[in-house]
Structure 1
Amino acid sequence: GMMPVGPAPGMSPPMGGHMPMMPGPPMMRPPARPMMVPTRPGMTRPDR
C-alpha cells in the first residue's frame, strides 16, 4: 500500500493549504496580500 496520495502525505490535506510557510504561490499567502496593497501606484506616493 504505497500509493501516491499527493505531493506531500500530511502537508496539504490536513492543513488545506492555509499555512503561510507552504511551498505554494505567494498570492495565496495571507501575509503577502497586505504587503501588495500599499504598493499600488498612487497610495505609496500620496505627496506627488
Structure 2
Amino acid sequence: MGPSPPGMMPVGPAPGTRPPMGGHMPMMPGPPMMRPPTRPMMVPTRPGMTRPDR
C-alpha cells in the first residue's frame, strides 16, 4: 500500500501526460495547424481578392 500510490502516480500521469499533452496538444490543434493554414490562405486570398475587388 506504500509503494503503490507513489509508484503509479509518477509512472502513470508523468509519461502519459507529458508526450500526448506536451507534443500533441500544443503542436497539432494549436499553433502548427491553425497558423500555417491561416497565413498562406489569408495572404494570397486577401491581397488577391482586395486588389481586383477595389
TM-score (norm 1): 0.29
Q: Which runs of 5+ in 2 are unaligned?
A: 1-6
Judged with a 3 Å threshold, the aligned counterparts in structure 2 of structure 1 residues 17 and 8 are, in CA distance, closer, same or farther, namely: same
- List per-residue Cα deviations over 1:1-48 (Å, max 9, x = no partner): 677899996899799979997110478532321101133266445154
TM-score (norm 2): 0.28
Question: Cα 1:12–1:34, aligned 2, differ >3 Å: closer, same or farther?
Answer: farther
Following TM superposition, the consecutive aligned residue runs of length 4 or more in structure 1 with deviations greater than 4 angstroms are 1-21, 25-28
**Structure showing the higher helix proportion among its residues:** 2
Question: Which structure exhibits the higher relative contact order, with contacts defined as CA atoms closer than 8 Å and separated by 6 or more residues?
Answer: 1
Give identity over the alignment, percent: 94
| SS at structure 1 position matched to 2:53 | coil
What 5-or-longer segments of structure 1 have no aligned partner? Answer: none
